[in-house]
Chain A
Amino acid sequence: MTGLRILWARLCDPFARRRREAAFREEIEAHLEMGIENHIARGLSRKDATAAARREFGAVEPMKETYRDQRGLPWLDSWVQDARFAFRLLTRERAFALAAVTTLALGIGTTTTVFSIVNVMAFRGLPVDNADNVVELSIRDRNARTVAGHRVSFAVFESWRDRAKTLAGVAAFHVRRSTIRDDRGDAGRVRATHISVNAFRLLGDAPIRGRDFREADAEPAAEPVVVIGHRLWSNRYGSAEDVIGHRLIVDGEPSTIVGVMAKGVRFPGHTDLWRVLSAQPTESSSLRVFGRLASSASLGQAQAELEGLRASSDHAAHPHERRATAHLFTGAFRGEPMFIALVGAMAFVLLIACGNVACLLLARASRRAQEIRIRHYLGGTWWRLIRQLLIESSLVAVTAGVLGFAGSVLGLKLFANAISAIDLPYWLIWTIDVRVFTFAALISILSVFLFGLAPALHISRAGGSQASMSKNRRWMDGLIASELALALTLLASAGFMMKSFVALYRADHIVDTEKLGTYRVALPEDRYDSPQARRAFTRSLDRRLSDAASVDAVGFASSLPFAGAPWREASVGGRGPAFKASVVAISDHYFDTLGVAVLQGRAFGPVDGTPGHASTIVNQRFAELWLADDSIGQRLDVNGVSTTIIGVAPTVRQQFNQELDPVIYVPFRSEPSATAAWFVRATSSLESVSALIRSEVTALDPELPVFGAITMEELSRQSRWMHRVFGAVFTSFALVALVLASLGLSAVVAYAVRQQLTDFAVRRAFGARPRDISILLARRVVPLLAVGCGVGLIGALGVGRLLQGLLVQTTPTDIGALSAVTAVLVAAGALACWLPTREALHVDPATSLREE
Chain B
Amino acid sequence: MKATDGEVPYGTLDIIVLKTLSGMGRLHGYGVARRIEQVAQGALSLNQGTIYPALLRLEQKGWIRSDWGTSENNRRARFYTITARGRKHLEIEKSQWSDSVALVDRLLEGDS
Interface residues of A (CB under 8 A from B): 2, 5-6, 9-10, 23-24, 26-28, 30-31, 33-35, 37-38, 56-60, 63, 66-67, 70-71
Check if A63 sits within 8 Å of B53, measured CB to CB.
Answer: yes
**29 A-B pairs with C-beta separation under 8 A:** A5-B60, A5-B61, A6-B60, A23-B78, A27-B29, A27-B52, A27-B77, A30-B29, A30-B30, A31-B28, A31-B33, A31-B77, A33-B75, A34-B30, A34-B71, A56-B33, A56-B47, A57-B47, A57-B49, A58-B48, A59-B47, A60-B49, A63-B47, A63-B52, A66-B53, A67-B52, A67-B53, A70-B57, A70-B60
Contacts of A58 in B (CB 8 A): 47-50
B60 CB contacts on chain A under 8 angstroms? 5-6, 9-10, 70
Q: Are A30 and B77 in contact (CB under 8 A)?
A: yes
Residue of B with least CB distance to A53: B48
How distant is the Cα of A35 from the Cα of B47 in the complex, in angstroms? 13
B43 at the interface (CB under 8 A from A): no
Query: In the complex, A706 Cα to B44 Cα: how many Å?
Result: 105
Interface residues of B in 17-54 (CB under 8 A from A): 28-30, 33-34, 47-50, 52-53
B95 within 8 A of A: no
B106 within 8 A of A: no
Contact indicator A35/B53 (Cβ below 8 Å): no
A34 contact from B50, B53, B62, B73, Cβ within 8 A: B73
Which B positions have Cβ atoms within 8 angstroms of A?
Answer: 28-30, 33-34, 47-50, 52-53, 56-57, 59-62, 71, 73, 75-78
Contact at B78–A70, with CB atoms within 8 Å? no
Contacts of B30 in A (CB 8 A): 30-31, 34-35
Give the distance in Å from the alpha carbon of A31 to the alpha carbon of B77 in the complex.
8
- A63 in contact with B56 given A31-B29, A31-B30 (CB within 8 Å): no
Residues of chain A within 8 A (CB-CB) of B53 are 63, 66-67, 70
Chain B interface SS verdict (over half): helix
- How many angstroms from the CA of A30 to the CA of B62 in the assembled complex? 24
Query: Is B49 a contact of A63 with CB atoms below 8 Å?
Result: yes
- List of B residues within 8 angstroms of A9 by Cβ: 59-60
Which chain A residues border B56 with CB–CB below 8 Å? 67, 70-71
The answer, among A2, A57, A66, A70, for a CB contact under 8 Å with B62, is A2
Instruction: Check if B52 sits within 8 Å of A30, measured CB to CB.
Output: no
- Complex Cα distance, B29 from A15, in Å, reads 25
Known: A30-B76, A60-B49. 15 other contacts (CB 8 A): A5-B60, A5-B61, A6-B60, A9-B60, A24-B52, A26-B76, A31-B28, A34-B75, A35-B48, A38-B34, A56-B47, A63-B47, A66-B53, A70-B57, A70-B60
Given contacts A9-B60, A70-B56, is CB(A30)–CB(B28) below 8 Å?
Answer: yes
Interface centre among B30, B47, B78 (most CB of A within 10 A): B30
Q: What residues on B are CB-neighbors of A31 within 8 Å?
A: 28-30, 33, 48, 77
Minimum C-beta distance from A34 to chain B (A): 4
Which residues of chain B come closer than 8 Å to A71, judged between CB atoms? 56
Instruction: Collect the chain B residues with CB atoms within 8 Å of residue A30's CB.
Output: 28-30, 71, 75-78
Closest Cβ–Cβ distance, residue A449 to chain B (whole Å): 34
Q: Which residues of A contact B52 (CB under 8 A)?
A: 24, 27-28, 63, 67
With contacts A34-B30, A35-B30, A70-B56 taken as known, whether A27 is within 8 angstroms of B49 at the C-beta atoms is no
For A61, give the chain B residue with the smallest CB separation: B49
Q: Which residues of A contact B75 (CB under 8 A)?
A: 30, 33-34
B101 to chain A, nearest CB (A): 25
Determine the distance from Cα of A26 to Cα of B62 in the docked complex, in whole angstroms: 22
Which residues of B have CB within 8 Å of A26? 76
Q: Which residue of chain B lies nearest to A67 when distances are taken between CB atoms in the complex?
A: B53
